[in-house]
Amino acid sequence: MRMFASDLDRTLIYSNKALADFGQTGEKNLIAVERIDGREAAFMSNEALLMLKKVSAQMLFVPVTTRTYGQFKRIFIFEDNLNIPYTITSNGANIHYHGKPLDEWSGIVRKRLNSECALLEEMLDRSQCLELNGKIKTAENLFFYYILNEQITPAAKEEIVRLTESYGWRISLQGRKLYFMPNPICKGEAVKFIRNREGISSVFGAGDSVLDHDFLKFCDFAYVPNHGELAANLSLSHPYLISNNIGAAAGEEILNDILNNIKERV
């Protein structure tokens, strides 16, 4: 069996803010895939959705997202159009199987959190000295992120990296969101868990951020959109297949390449 493990935001689906960043707002081929309080909040191209359906019919499709499970459930195409047995949410902290959390996996993560890194409360306290200009939010008492009002400088980012690394945490800057993530919460370990559980023979993967590098490095075929944090980090992204396009067109290009890859191996 083959598996396609993919990040969602800024890889397969794009918020209004992301589309604006890439100059793709209002393009006619885009369809809504998420609504918040009746408002269309995220999009992908119609062609990309059709290709995702074809991919998921031929291999195990596993969404891998930093979203909480509640945030993931807002993406209605996964309710209506696709069969998805597994979901990896909260950056790998949680795995759901047919809608129910896998307690075995949660226990593994909690044990590592208690022994390998500073607790959430301590890291929140330490982050206050950074004087970041933005709104802070926590996710399921596991990690936190800032929605920045202004971009941080490279020097400030280096300072934050040094601080977080000393406490067993790391950061990822995705658009205006600056994530603070404990090392044990890792997409890669969650993907490996499912791979072993299902006896997967080969894994296709896609993602745009440094947090996605954690699982892309274990994939047999790894794709990165030609935008965002990971594509800009050549030391991490050099082994990966980088798309020619950016934004929603990159997601479409990646899915098309995966389908062609499957055909060549039949």
Residue of 46 and 131 predicted with greater confidence = 46
Q: What is the mean pLDDT of residues 123-130?
A: 94
What is the amino acid identity at position 212? D
Report d(CA 74, CA 88) in Å as an integer.
Answer: 15
Could you tell me the residue ranges of all domains in the chain? 2-109+185-264, 118-182
CB 31 within 8 A of CB 43: yes
Q: Where are the beta strands (DSSP E) in 46-158?
A: 60-63, 86-89, 94-97, 100-101, 134-139, 143-148
Report the candidate in 226, 227, 130, 223 with the shortest Cα–Cα distance to residue 175. Answer: 227
pTM of the predicted model as reported, rounded to 2 decimal places: 0.94
pLDDT at residue 79 is higher than 70: yes
Q: pLDDT band for position 175 (50/70/90)? A: confident
Residue 249: which pLDDT band, with cuts at 50, 70 and 90?
very high
Sign of the Cα pseudo-torsion (186, 215, 63, 75, in order): positive
Fold of the domain built from segment(s) 2-109+185-264:
Rossmann fold (3.40.50)
What pLDDT is attached to residue 131?
84
pLDDT beyond 90 at 201: yes
pLDDT at 265 over 80: no
pLDDT digits (tens, 9 = 90+) for 4-62: 999 999 999 999 999 999 999 888 899 999 999 999 999 999 999 999 999 999 999 99
